[in-house]
Structure 1
Amino acid sequence: MHPNIYIPDAFIEQIRKIMPDHLSMDDFIASCKTPLRRSIRVNTLKISVTDFLERVADKNWTLTPVPWCETGFWIEREDEESVSLGNTAEHMAGLFYIQEASSMMPVTALLKDNDALDCVLDMASAPGSKTTQIACAMQNRGALVANELAASRIKVLHSNLLRCGVYNVALTHFDGCVFGGWAPESFDSILLDAPCSGEGAIRKDDDAMANWSLESVEDIAAVQRKLIESAFQALKPGGVMVYSTCTLNLSENQNICHFLKDRFGDSVEFEPLNDLFDGADQACTAEGFLHVYPQIFDSEGFFVARIRKHASVESPQVKKRLGKFPFNPASDQDTQIIAKELETTLDITLPSESEIWLRDKEVWLFPSQLRPLLTEIRFQRMGIKLAEQHKKGYRWQHEAIMALAKGDEKVSLALTAEQAKEWFMGRDIRPEQTPGKGEIIVTYRDYPIGIGKWVSNRIKNGLPRELVRDTNLFDI
């Protein structure tokens, strides 16, 4: 229990007024003071749920399925004290993502009966839990734009996307309010997991309510109104968007959705989520929104609304000054040369829905679906860096291996647990077998963890410096 957790009286009073009759205020307060259950989501870009469960069967992990996410599990571990979940081999290989169970709900709501995923926007995406969840559904097809306003969070977002092997994504660094004017009616589906007062996060953060006040809630709601309006303008007619928060008050939730309905009338339809999963109706409002109090599913507090756009709406007129795009598409000949070299040296085939772009000596893989937006939006980062060209050919990049390698390539080498630990600590490996030549994909328990290069009888470590871990690594 968190008996000393700070819960403002004004917040309690606010919840008392809005909580449905079938729920208990005592249960609510008790839940707020109970630590949150840990949960993970299997990254199906790299491994199926069945294979993942087999792989971790020899660990002392108890995994309980999350009802609203087929790839989500609550996790209990006996080795929790000795090894952090983020330092397990499976996490570092990108096989799962540590994600709060409630936060899996918005993406499930967005994806239900929705195959319009050619061009998707995640409007407030860091640190990347929902972005990577959407990416799994897209299976690296189409294009996924991940926007984040906070510069300090973009690096973490980018790192998580690379670890999970997402290569159809482009990062933008804007106030989400610009999308309605800069990219009107450009996206098939949109997730707006809005910045909020974080009332639902009280179970995982003792200080979640430290700066809470009724005034700050209203200030945040004003920002949310601008964001939801912009998101709706950026959505194609016929498309679906989800608005979600990890907070509980009406000002940031139901009222924001009704503001959108008042603003755009019959173009806006609220699609009910009563049957999103077994038991969803316990958390549903009259409009069909999910208003998740923490005691209902023993989770974070959360709000989720699914909105359909039935007709075009006006968007603001903006003047654009983008600057020069510093990349050029590779010629067919260059693309064939690069593809052949990749296949010859690493036994990897270029994905079909991507294109090669060049900048100086750099070789990049961009999602084809984004080409129409290249003249409309300034992107911070796009796709993955495949290689750097040098006199004798190409120097393939770690991120390309994590995204494209499967682990069964002819030039792959399986490391022992001890060798894998050495690898993650940035050290060179000295395998017992006969030395080879050139670059080699290193794997641990069948999954790629990086790229190295034979130098005499050792493999030179190619792990990027920022990914090197020093201590508390996984158990053998």
Structure 2
Amino acid sequence: MDLPISFIEKYQHLLGEEAAAFFAALTSGHPVKGFRLNIVKPQAEAMLVKYGPAHEKAPYAPNAYIGEVKGKSLLHQAGYVYSQEPSAMIVAAIADVQPGERVLDLCAAPGGKSTQLASQLQGAGLLVSNEIFPKRAKILSENIERWGFANVVVTNHAPNELSRHFPQFFDKIIVDAPCSGEGMFRKDPVAVAEWHSGAPEQCANRQQAILIEAVKMLKPGGQLIYSTCTFAPEENEAIISWLVENYPFVIQAIDMPNVAHGRAEWGYAADIDKTVRLWPHLNQGEGHFAAKLHYQGEAKSIKQKKGKHKEAQPKLEQEASKLWQTFQAKFPYLPFDDGKLHMLGDQLWLVPKALPSLQGLKVMRPGLHLGTMKKHRIEPSYAVALAFLAGSQGPTLPITIQQWKQYVAGETISVPGNAGWVILQVDEVPVGIGKQVQGIVKNFFPKGLRFQAD
């Protein structure tokens, strides 16, 4: 890999005697692939041993491993594993989200942090995962769906749009800011090709604009976790110094092993060395920076919007209400008590109760997709199967790995019986939903997700 000349000159000046080891790690080292295990899935650890790749424990996060996950594998499709670069896992680990909290992942795609944060919430509380670009928001939504939690909402807004909907609302906000990407040079040649000497300063301006909106959505006493995947001091220590100078934040210590720390000579805020850095020549993984800040701002009066909000509640007619009761009885494991029903056209959703309103929001995924309202029936969704977590009770049908390959390719499969709607399982792994009629399982795997399995 040929590094840009201006990049080399910059870090020779900044790192001094340390520069040689830094450049050697960038040009000669190899990126490490990793993944996380979704431990709330049925028999997650046992299924990883049986169907997963060779692996070893990874640093920075629980249930994290060094190993390569294939996107067309059984465990990935079923939401048991998420492929993620090991150092990127440190951000959500630092956030240390607790069940019941209201959390915003402001720059969320493709979903690594959000799936990790959802696991920490354990189905209690609310996670709003936001992405400004629609195509990336769609990918984010698919990854969230596979992970199986009902209390996650995917929105598609610019930060200055989202802040109008959630004033002083969140206990924790994660801003994994768009950056110059220097920390990804080893694994992403495009990041090297697109880098130029002015990129860090341009990114810093954008990061400030994002943080201004993030602060508006943070509760007094809340926490802001800021991170980048770049080495540039302009986007790291300097940004945190600017934030502390302009807003009532206090930098909190991050107590983790195998990390380096922010450098006081690159920022002017007190306690800047309480931030953390991951360097390719000092720590495991690619380059990262992270800071955890406590917000000491005061509560402000919030003007209520005029007019009545439309509650996220469908108007079910008598026949539809009976269909709904039948649906609830068929799938008793779904968290009906923790959500409220919402109809989008003929699509039925379970929206988290902690979400105040859907009015005016651009939502890619307003909660858990329950199904499609048909004439005289509710047709359950693929997401219903993925929400089948450990301890769930419901109608299941065992299939073989070969039948699973037929299923994800869109084919019908033959299994003796006439059970109707069932959750299809390979061993303990819930992989989808089907309708078994006279020994034939009709395929309801979404057409847009179908693939030829490895």
Q: TM-score, normalised by structure 2?
A: 0.89
Determine if the alignment matches structure 1 residue 289 to structure 2 residue 275: yes
Contact 1:143/1:369 (8 A) holds in 2:
yes
| Distance in 2 of aligned mates of 1:191 and 1:173 | 16
AA partner of residue 133 (structure 1): Q
1:56 equivalent among 41, 48, 61: 48
Per-residue CA deviation, residues 126-163 of structure 1 (Å, 9 max, x unaligned), is 00110111000011221111111112211111110111
| Distance in 2 of aligned mates of 1:60 and 1:169 | 26
Alignment of 1:10-409 (within 5 A): 10-19=6-15, 24-33=18-27, 34-47=29-42, 51-58=43-50, 61-75=53-67, 85-111=70-96, 115=98, 117-264=100-247, 267-273=248-254, 275=255, 277-280=256-259, 282-286=260-264, 287=272, 288-312=274-298, 328-329=313-314, 337=322, 340-371=325-356, 373-375=357-359, 377-404=361-388, 409=393
AA partner of residue 356 (structure 1): L
Q: Secondary structure at the match of 1:328?
A: coil
Contact 1:116/1:189 (8 A) holds in 2:
no
Distance 1:305 1:337, change over 3 A: farther
Q: Which moved more, 1:449-458 or 1:333-342?
A: 333-342
How far apart are 1:386 and its partner, in Å? 0.6
2:443 equivalent among 461, 466, 472: 461
Q: Secondary structure at the match of 1:294?
A: coil
| Distance in 2 of aligned mates of 1:15 and 1:318 | 48
Per-residue CA deviation, residues 223-271 of structure 1 (Å, 9 max, x unaligned), is 101111211221000001100000111111111111111112xx21000
2:418 equivalent among 436, 443, 446: 436
How far apart are 1:207 and its partner, in Å? 2.2
Per-residue CA deviation, residues 184-237 of structure 1 (Å, 9 max, x unaligned), is 211111000000111101111122121211222211111101111211221000
Unaligned runs of 5+ in 2: 265-271
Q: Which moved more, 1:318-327 or 1:115-124?
A: 318-327
Distance 1:115 1:384, change over 3 A: closer
Per-residue CA deviation, residues 53-83 of structure 1 (Å, 9 max, x unaligned), is 433334684322222101111116xxxxxxx
Distance 1:324 1:180, change over 3 A: closer
Unaligned runs of 5+ in 1: 77-83
Contact 2:98/2:120 (8 A) holds in 1:
no
Identity %: 27
| Distance in 1 of aligned mates of 2:2 and 2:306 | 47
AA partner of residue 407 (structure 2): W
Distance 1:454 1:222, change over 3 A: same
| Distance in 1 of aligned mates of 2:86 and 2:317 | 45
Distance 1:119 1:407, change over 3 A: closer
| Distance in 2 of aligned mates of 1:69 and 1:322 | 45
| Distance in 1 of aligned mates of 2:346 and 2:75 | 33
AA partner of residue 241 (structure 1): L
Contact 2:203/2:235 (8 A) holds in 1:
yes
Q: Which moved more, 1:32-41 or 1:244-253?
A: 32-41
Per-residue CA deviation, residues 16-37 of structure 1 (Å, 9 max, x unaligned), is 333386xx32322222122311
Per-residue CA deviation, residues 385-404 of structure 1 (Å, 9 max, x unaligned), is 21222233211111122124
| Distance in 2 of aligned mates of 1:436 and 1:214 | 66
Q: TM-score, normalised by structure 1?
A: 0.85
Distance 1:158 1:61, change over 3 A: closer
Per-residue CA deviation, residues 375-416 of structure 1 (Å, 9 max, x unaligned), is 574434301221222233211111122124658645211111
Contact 2:169/2:219 (8 A) holds in 1:
yes
Contact 1:346/1:440 (8 A) holds in 2:
no
Q: Which moved more, 1:215-224 or 1:324-333?
A: 324-333
AA partner of residue 195 (structure 2): W
The number of equivalent residue pairs is 445
How far apart are 1:320 and its partner, in Å? 8.0
| Distance in 2 of aligned mates of 1:335 and 1:10 | 66
| Distance in 2 of aligned mates of 1:440 and 1:467 | 19
2:268 matched residue in structure 1: none
